[in-house]
């Protein structure tokens, strides 16, 4: 049985994951409209994965005798002034998600809920990968700068992040 404190913390993380899915979805739509197939495919895949992260938390809370709350979705506000701005926003968001996961892990230890602590280790590992992927992408964007040819090649390169199982999960 989940304590009230753990249930509230999990519901907070459910909201974070749902918001993440919406942010990636908004980025995917923007990239698709701009004609960047690789970037949009990557972002759509990430949006789906964030939703799966949310669902995993929903099912866990419910199976442990808690009650998952399904949050209202946010309307993402993106800085689409440049690819660097967009991917900087994405990286900063992933860092925030990592902080949120770490706080949830901390709460699980304070509550001596070792089953939840064990369950959350998947999220800890996942966030290491998510941050690394976002940082790698941002590094590539910084190398490209405003070069149109570089953006074309980068977009093609992004297809490998979304299609073959590499990149963030």
Write out the binding residues for Fe cation: 17, 50, 53, 94, 127
CA distances from 142 to 46, 83, 88, 103, 111 (A): 21, 9, 10, 31, 43
The token pair at 5 is 């404190």
Question: Which residues have C-beta within 8 Å of that of residue 94, sequence separation ≥ 6?
Answer: 127, 130, 131, 134
Question: Which residues have C-beta within 8 Å of that of residue 152, sequence separation ≥ 6?
Answer: none
- DSSP 8-state symbol, 35: T
Distance CA 104, CA 121 (A): 11
Q: Which residues are annotated as a binding site?
A: 17, 50, 53, 94, 127
Supply the DSSP string of 114-126, one letter for each residue.
Answer: HHHHHHHHHHHHH
């Amino acid at each position: 049985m989940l304590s009230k404190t753990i249930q509230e913390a999990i519901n907070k993380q459910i909201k974070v994951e749902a918001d993440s899915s919406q942010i990636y979805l908004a980025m995917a739509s923007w990239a698709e409209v701009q004609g960047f197939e690789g970037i949009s495919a990557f972002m759509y895949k990430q949006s789906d994965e964030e939703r799966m992260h949310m669902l995993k938390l929903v099912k866990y809370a419910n199976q442990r005798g808690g009650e998952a709350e399904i949050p209202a979705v946010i309307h993402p506000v993106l800085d689409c002034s440049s690819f660097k701005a967009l991917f900087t926003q994405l990286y900063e968001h992933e860092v925030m998600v990592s902080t949120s996961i770490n706080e949830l892990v901390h709460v699980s230890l304070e509550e001596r809920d070792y089953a939840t602590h064990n369950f959350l280790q998947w999220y800890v590992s996942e966030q290491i990968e998510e941050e690394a992927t976002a940082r790698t992408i941002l590094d590539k964007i910084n190398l490209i700068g405003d070069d149109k040819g570089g953006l074309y090649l980068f977009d093609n390169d992004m297809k490998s992040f979304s299609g073959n199982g590499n990149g963030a999960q």
